[in-house]
Amino acid sequence: MLSSKASSNCHGQDSLYFLGWQVYEKNPFHEVENPTGIIQMGLAENQLSFDLVESWIRKNPDVMGLKNKDGESVFRDLALFQDYHGMPAFKNELVEYMAKIRGNKVKFDPNNLVLAAGATSANETLIFCLADPGDAILLPTPSYAGFDRDLKWRTGVEIVPIHCSSSNGFRISMFALEEAYERAQKLNLKVKGVLITNPSNPLGTTMTKDELQSLITFAIDKDIHLISDEVFSGTVFDSPCFISIMEAAMDSNLKRNIDVLSRIHIVYSLSKDLGLPGFRVGMIYSNNQTVVSAATKMSSFGLVSSQTQYLLSYMLANKKFTSNYMKRNQKRLKKRKEMLVSGLKKSGINCLKSNAGLFCWVDMRHLLCSNTFEAETDLWKKILCEVGLNISPGSSFHCSQPGWFRVCFANMNQSTLQVALRRIKDFVERSSFNYQQNMGSLSRKLISNWVRKLSSADREEQER
């Protein structure tokens, strides 16, 4: 009785990424009330800087009361405002904020900005605009587990992965890009675009200008689009500094510019940078007027509440607040990440070197009993149920190599993180002890077998 879309599991919600959350929700950690519960390290949320937003709200009761600077109520206008072009004041502030994050090296036009109810909605709308059912989008792996749902489910578009490996730090190589493109051709899928996440989720790394320009050249070559999901652009806490796809595109020679800008699109949201996922504020930025026009009309399906637009336009207009927020937020993220990385190192676990994001891409290959995804799932289960940490296994990010996990650090306080690190240390020590024991017994077995063989050979010779 239901549509095939509703009854399919193409939404990917059955992956381990989401299963882990379910198990966590049945037994969530709480410092006081449930200290043996599962610690949530699978949710990339930024809770480190709530106090800054809170203090702004406290200092601006009028805005919260939907009053303007003169103390007059603007409620009437807000209540009726459902223009899918979005509130001009809000969009003006957004483009300035976006430019600020990019070191003001690019300028954005608010008329090219389309609002959506979160980056989830923005990504889906953009795919609706760029591809028809049955077309394909190339996506580098490992990639955000939610893309299966956001990009494929209702759009009917396919995802063809670009396999990246640890051999070069999971960077996108031209070889891998071409290989993915050819794979799509063999499957009779028309490739309409490449979607990259920069800074990357789950890697936490930013792309270099060369990498971005190679991607742009590839897109021009194949006559396809390039979508850059830059939701984590404000979480870059270390060098190298963030380079947006727009900045890389500006550098190409002018002759290509007319063509280049019409195929590059940015997706952004306030969920990660400002830590406001509940507000549901996302956006698409594009120089392609047809895309902007179509996306604007589609945004009727996910408009941002006028009340929220009003609130945030004031918050972002306060330049002192945004500068202060960006600086302190990035410092806190850096400190927290270093705490995680050094803590894991003490347990003999390395992380991919990262300079952004709310998580680390952790190398646990040496803890696998075999180099397979079954072993990875076993390890994940053990860590979830025995150790009590919900971390996300690489398979749920479609990583081509087993043994990597994404561990989030920004959605808990310091003491909780320390508890988590201690648990990991204990687990690793336990496992290595068992491993040594096993190895010890195994080597003894091997030696005895070999000795027996030798002795039997000797005897044979003697007998002869």
Partner 1 sequence: THLSFPLGHDPAPLVVQTRKPVRAAAAAAMRLIVPLQSVVQGRGGLIFGSLIPCALFYFLQLYLKRHRSPKPQSNPPSPTTSSPKLAEMTRTSSRSNLFSRSIGQVRISSRAISIAKPNESPYYIGLDKASEDPYDRLSNPDGVIQLGLSENRLCFDLIEKWMSENLGHSITGRDNGELNINGIATYQPFDGTMELKLAMAGFMSHIMGGAVTFEPSQMVLTAGATPAIETLCFCLADQGNAFLVPTPYYPGFDRDVKFRTGVELIPVHCRSTDNFALSITALDQAFNQTRKHGTKIRGILLSNPANPVGNLLSREMLYAILDFAREKNIHVISDEIFAGSMYGNEEFVSMAEVLDSEGFDKNRVHIVYGLSKDLSLPGFRVGVIYSFNENVLAAARKLTRFSSVSAPTQRLLVSMLSDARFIEEYIKTNKRRLQNMHALFVAGLKGLNIRCADSSAGLYCWADMSKLISSYSEKGELELWDKLLNVGKINVTPGSACHCIEPGWFRCCFTTLAEEDIPVVLERIRKAVENTTDLLNSS
Query: Smallest distance from the beta carbon of 169 to partner 1, in angstroms?
Result: 30
Taking residue 273's Cβ as centre, other Cβ atoms within 10 Å add up to 24
Q: Which of 23, 78, 250, 375 binds partner 1 (CB under 8 A)?
A: 78
Looking at beta carbons only, is 121 or 200 nearer to partner 1? Answer: 121
Identify which of 328, 326, 410 has the alpha carbon closest to the alpha carbon of residue 103.
326
Query: What track of x and - describes contact with partner 1 for positions 31 through 50 (by CB under 8 A)?
Result: ------------x-x-x--x
Which C-beta is closer to partner 1: that of 2 or that of 32? Answer: 2
Contact flags string 91-130 toward partner 1, x per CB under 8 A: --------------------------xx-xx--x---xxx
> Rule CB under 8 A: is residue 311 a binding residue for partner 1?
yes
The CB-of-40 to partner 1 minimum distance in angstroms stands at 11
- Can you tell me which of 141, 244, 269, 306 binds partner 1, judged by CB under 8 A? 306
Q: Burial, 177: exposed, middle or buried (Cβ in 10 Å; 0-12, 13-18, 19+)?
A: buried
Smallest distance, partner 1 to C-beta of residue 130, A: 5
Min dist. Cβ of residue 436 to partner 1 (A): 42
Asked whether position 304 contacts partner 1 by CB under 8 A, the answer is yes
Q: Interaction with partner 1 in 145-164: which residues (CB under 8 A)? A: 149-150, 154, 156
Choose, by CB under 8 A, the member of 81, 171, 213, 332 that binds partner 1.
81
Q: Least distance in Å: CB of 84 to partner 1? A: 10
Taking the complex as a whole, how short is the minimal distance between the CB of residue 76 and partner 1, in angstroms? 5
Site for partner 1 in 422-461 (CB under 8 A): none
User: Least separation, in Å, of the C-beta of 363 and partner 1?
Assistant: 28
Q: What are phi and psi of 368, to 5 degrees?
A: -80, 145
Rounded Cα gap, residues 367 and 363, in angstroms? 9
**Total residues contacting partner 1 (rule CB under 8 A)?**
79
Joined tokens for residue 52:
């800054």
Q: In what order do the strands lie in the sheet with 225-229?
A: 113-116, 282-286, 264-269, 225-229, 191-197, 136-141, 158-163
Q: If binding is defined by CB under 8 A, does position 288 make contact with partner 1?
A: yes
User: What's the closest the beta carbon of residue 132 comes to partner 1, in angstroms?
Assistant: 5
80 forms part of the interface with partner 1 (CB under 8 A): yes
For partner 1, which stretch binds (CB under 8 A), given 75-83, 356-364, 416-424, 440-448? 75-83
Q: Does 76 bind partner 1 (CB under 8 A)?
A: yes
Our finding on whether 7 is near partner 1 (CB under 8 A) is yes
Minimum gap (Å) between residue 434 Cβ and partner 1: 38
305 scored as a contact of partner 1 (CB under 8 A) = yes
Site map (CB under 8 A) of partner 1, residues 248-287, x = contact: ----------xx--xx-------x---xxxxxxx------
Q: Is the separation of the CB atoms in 125 and 285 below 8 Å?
A: no
**235 with 358: CB under 8 angstroms?**
yes
Site string for partner 1, 165-204 (x = CB under 8 A): ---------------------------x------------
Phi-psi map region of 209: left, alpha, beta (phi>0 left; psi -120 to 50 alpha): alpha
